[in-house]
Amino acid sequence: MRPKTLILRTAGTNCDAETDMAFQLAGAETALVHIQHLISDKVNLADYQILAIPGGFSYGDDIAAGILLAIEMKHKLTDALNRFVEDGKLIIGICNGFQVLVRTGLLPGKDTSEMAQQATLAMNTSSKFECRWVDLETQESPCVFTKGVKARVYLPVAHAEGRFTAPANVLSELEANNQVVFRYAESRYPNNPNGSDSNIAGICDATGKIFGLMPHPERFLTKWNHPRWTRVAKTQETPSEEGDGLVIFKNAVDYVKSNLL
Catalytic residue set: 95, 216, 218
Which of 80, 90, 199 lies closest to 136 in space, CA to CA? 199
- In this structure, which long-range contacts are made by residues 170-176, counting pairs with CB atoms below 8 Å and at least 24 apart in sequence? 170/108, 170/110, 170/118, 170/119, 171/197, 171/198, 173/108, 173/110, 174/108, 174/200, 174/203
Q: What distance in Å separates the CA atoms of residue 135 and residue 87, rounded to the nearest whole number? A: 34
